[in-house]
Amino acid sequence: MSFTRRSLLRTGGVVAAAGVLPAGQAAAQEEAAAAPSVLTARNPLVEKRADPFITPPTDGMYYLTGSVPEYDRIVVRGASTLDGLATARERTVWRRPASGPMGGYIWAPELHRIDGKWYIYFAAGDSDQPFRIRTYVLESPSADPREATWTLRGQVVTGWDSFTLDATTFAHRDKRYFLWAQSEPGIATNSNLYIAEMASPLALGSAPVRIAVPTLDWEVQGFKVNEGPAVLIRNGRVFVTFSASATDARYCMGLLTADENANLLDARSWTKSPQPVFTTNTATSQYGPGHNSFTTVGDVDVLVYHARDYRDITGDPLFDPNRHTRVQRLYWNADGTPSFGVPVGRGELPVRLHPLDAPHAVIRHYEYRLRADGDVRELADSQFRVVAGFLGAGTVAVQSVNFPDRYVRVDGTNLRIDPYEDTDSYGRAASFVLEENRSGLSLRQGGSYVTHDTGRLVMAPPGTSREARERVTFARG
C-alpha cells in the first residue's frame, strides 16, 4: 500500500494498513477498549481568515466567520464536519455602508445562536474615522445563518463611548453574560477585559466589571492589550482565554480562571495565569497565535485560532493578510486545567499514543528518548505525526511535533527521536510497518515491535498472550 502524508490523515494521522496484526494478535480488537476520540483536520483550515470563530455543532452543522483582510464585510461558511469548512462555500451576509458609522474597519465577528435566533457581534469603525471602533449586532431569524436575512440592530452600548471590540457572549447558571475588550478612560492601556450580565441579546443588563488589565511583560509588547476573550466552562471552572500584545509575532494568549460557583461579576473571582498559555513557536514556524474560539467534535474540545507562517512583516501587521484560521485538539491536565501545547504547524493534526496496557499513560519524548508517562503537562512532548516512511511504499515514520526535524529512530533495542539524516542507515532505523485494528496501531521493524515495558519504549519480538498483545498496541487520542 502506498502511503503519503495526505492519505495518512484519514484517521487522525494513520490509515488502516493492508495487513493486520500477526496471527494471535488480531484478537486484541475484540478484547481491548475502543480507541480515544481522534480529531481529523489539516492546518491551516482556512487561509486569510483572522479572528476565527467556529460555532459549536448546531443542528448538525458547524459555521465559521472571521475577519477578512479587506475589513469590509462579514462572511459565513458552513459544513457538517470541521474539516469540511476548509472547502465550504463562503457567503457574504453583510457589507459595510459606503459612508458614515460602520463604514470603516470591520473586525472580529462572532456568531451565536440565542433563543432561536442568530446574532453576529462585530466591531466597526466609521468611514471618516476607521479606528473609531465600537461594537454592533446583527440579528437573523433564519435557521441557517448563511441566508441573507440579517437585520442591523444597532450598537451594543457599554459603560463608555470609547474603543470597544471583540465581544463574545455565554450562558452560565441561567444567566447570559457579555464579555468584551475596551479602552477605559483614565487607564493608560489600549484595551482591558470587561464582563456584564445581559438584559437581552441586544443590550447589557448590568454595569461593566473590569476583570483584566494588561500589566505583565508578555501583555504589553508593542501595545498594552487584553482582547479577544473566549469562554470554556469545564471541570468546575470558567476559563477565559484572551490575547495580548501587538498583532505580530509577540501576540500570544493568556488565561483567566474563576470557580463555576463564583460571582462572575466580582473582579475578585478571576485569577490571571502569570505566564502566557499559547505563544509563537519557531520550531513549528507558527507566529503570533491568538484571537481564539472553542468548538467541539464529539467529546473532544477544539482550539480555534489564527497564526502566521512567518515572523517578518512588511508594514503594519494589522494589514498583513496571512493570519490563517487553524485548529487543534485542546487537552486537559489531571488537575482539570487546559493544556494548550504549541501551535502545531502546517499539515495533518498530530495524535497522542497511549499504551493499551497502560491507557492512562501517554508516549512522550524526554531527553530525546521515548517513554510512557502519566499526566504529561509538556503536551507537545507527547504529540506525533505518523507520516510517509523513508523506505518507500508500505512504511511510515513517526515525526515529533515540537521538534519536526526529528523522527522516532531505533537505537539498538531503545527508541529515540533524532534529527533527520539523508542516509540509508537512518532511513532503515526510522521506518516502520504500520499495522492497525480497532484497538489501535502497532509499529513493526523486521520481527520486532515497538513495545511498552513498564514505562520504557523498546523493540521486542511479539508475544501471543493478551498482555503481550497489549504491550505492542497503542491507542490514538
- What contacts 210, CB < 8 A, 6 or more positions away? 184, 192, 193, 194, 267
What cell was used for 260? 463555576
411 is catalytic: no
CB 123 within 8 A of CB 107: yes
What CA–CA distance (Å, rounded) separates 471 from 372?
11
What CA–CA distance (Å, rounded) separates 212 from 216?
11
- What contacts 422, CB < 8 A, 6 or more positions away? none
Greatest alpha-carbon span in the chain: 76
Report the alpha-carbon angle 269-275-281, nearest 5.
Answer: 140
Closest CA to 119 of 60, 65, 51: 65
What cell was used for 401? 511535533
What CA–CA distance (Å, rounded) separates 105 from 335?
42
51 is catalytic: yes
Strand partners, 243: 227, 253
Query: Which residue out of 227, 248, 381, 418 is catalytically annotated?
Result: 227
Query: Which residue out of 51, 110, 418, 470 is catalytically annotated?
Result: 51
Per-residue CA distances from 1 to 18, 299, 395 (Å): 6, 32, 9
Report the alpha-carbon angle 4-394-413, nearest 5.
Answer: 110
Report the 10 Å Cβ neighbour count for 99: 10
Active site residues: 51, 227
